[in-house]
Structure 1
Amino acid sequence: MNHLIVYAHPRKESFNHAILETAVEGLKKKGHEVVVRDLYELGFQPIVSASEIIGGLSEDIEQEQQHLKWADVITFIYPIWWTGLPAMMKGYIERVFSYGFAYKYVNGVQMGLLKGKKTVIINTQGKSKAEYEANGMGEALRLTSDKGIFEYCGLEVMYHLFLESVPGSDEATRKAWLEQIAYMASKA
């Protein structure tokens, strides 16, 4: 299978980067083709231009859309910042998941155009799951990304993994999370 990983974290020393490396290694061990789009390494420009609003696509966006067309499974790895996607990932979605490519309207009815593709979302967060669930943010995060972005565009969400309280987590917990990600990659 063809696996595209869209990754957004500015630090190579981050736990997010360890997640990326673990996922790539696990997928390649199973014989999958893997392409990584590290948005910071690419210098991806997250700001939508005026021409893109009226349907113009730049070469960099066409290239990203080719990667999405190629992929059977798309994995998104990013931290939760300010209870949402980091600006880099949000900008990627806004620019690459454009009208006519990822979704369209026919007679006023929205249609997801990425049907047949699957997605995995892996998020790290600073707060505990209990904190997010107590104030409704856990459900809001799932609704915003899973339903409001990925399912809206026709993707089937296979997993949405939230790794909680990452800054305060110990080595054993992080190792267990990486083992879980390696296991998920072995089942992809």
Structure 2
Amino acid sequence: MHALIVVAHHDPQSLTHALARQVAAGLANAGHSSEIADLASEGFDPRFGLADQALYRGLAATPADVRKEQARIERADAVVLVYPVYWWSMPALLKGWVERVFSNGWAYAYDANSVVKKLRGMKVHLVGVAGADGGTFERHGYGEAMRVQIEHGIFDYCGAEVLSSTLLENSEVVDPTPHLHTAHALGERLFAGCEVAA
């Protein structure tokens, strides 16, 4: 089985990148393959521009950089997003990736008065890296807000299934070792119960 690990952090030495590498290592230990899509170092442009608007309206073909990302997703049996929590959501780089890549006609389509979910069967795992503690998220309802915005508002809208959502708390003040172990374990069990390709 194969996973696409999407990382949205500008610093390759960040905990976010280290976590993505641990997910990949866990996958490898379990006999699976992965590809890390490092959006920052690859220079992905997250700005939804005129070409994206034309695609949305059905007036133009998919831009080449968007089609490349869609092909990466299509090759994967699961997608893992690893990102820091900025302002109680994903960073602009990742949000822009979603806005451009999960395009009309590919991720969803309109059929009369309803939305056709075109990513049914897509499996998603979310790994958010939070500076705050869990109590802060709970007290202010931010955890639920993130679930509604990201799990429901993005993935369910397209028919994708979020199989796990992990929030790694206190990332700026605690020893990161437990978080790294959590990411490794996630990779090891990502395809638990699935046949390993020969």
Structure 2 length-normalised TM = 0.90
In structure 1, the partner of 2:45 is: 45
1:47-103 Cα offsets, whole Å, 9 max, x none, are 011121121321111111111111110000001101111110011000000011011
In structure 1, the partner of 2:177 is: 175
Structure 1 length-normalised TM = 0.94
TM-superposed CA distance for 1:21, in Å, is 0.9
In structure 2, the partner of 1:23 is: 23
In structure 2, the partner of 1:155 is: 160
Structure 2: tracts of 5 or more residues without a match: 191-198
2:118 aligned to which of 109, 113, 120 = 113
Q: Specify the SS of the correspondent of 1:13.
A: coil
Q: Specify the SS of the correspondent of 2:163.
A: strand
TM-superposed CA distance for 1:44, in Å, is 0.5
**Matched residue count:** 185
* Aligned equivalents of 1:30, 1:71: Cα separation in 2: 16
Q: Specify the SS of the correspondent of 1:46.
A: coil
Contact 2:47 2:96 in 1 (8 A): yes
Q: Deviation above 4 Å: which 4+ runs of structure 1?
A: none
**Does 2:67 correspond to 1:66?**
no
Contact 2:23 2:185 in 1 (8 A): no
TM-superposed CA distance for 1:114, in Å, is 1.0
* Aligned equivalents of 2:142, 2:19: Cα separation in 1: 23
1:154-181 Cα offsets, whole Å, 9 max, x none, are 1111110001121111x2xx22222122
In structure 2, the partner of 1:94 is: 99
Q: Specify the SS of the correspondent of 1:166.
A: coil
Q: Specify the SS of the correspondent of 2:158.
A: coil
CA RMSD in angstroms comes to 1.1
In structure 1, the partner of 2:193 is: none
Q: Specify the SS of the correspondent of 2:41.
A: helix
Contact 2:23 2:188 in 1 (8 A): no
* Aligned equivalents of 2:6, 2:183: Cα separation in 1: 15
* Aligned equivalents of 2:30, 2:183: Cα separation in 1: 14
- Percentage of pairs with the same residue: 32
TM-superposed CA distance for 1:33, in Å, is 2.1
Q: Specify the SS of the correspondent of 1:140.
A: helix
* Aligned equivalents of 1:9, 1:52: Cα separation in 2: 23
Structure 1: tracts of 5 or more residues without a match: none
TM-superposed CA distance for 1:111, in Å, is 2.1
**Does 2:80 correspond to 1:75?**
yes
* Aligned equivalents of 1:100, 1:145: Cα separation in 2: 20
2:182 partner amino acid: Q
Structure of higher RCO (CA pairs closer than 8 Å, 6+ residues apart): 2
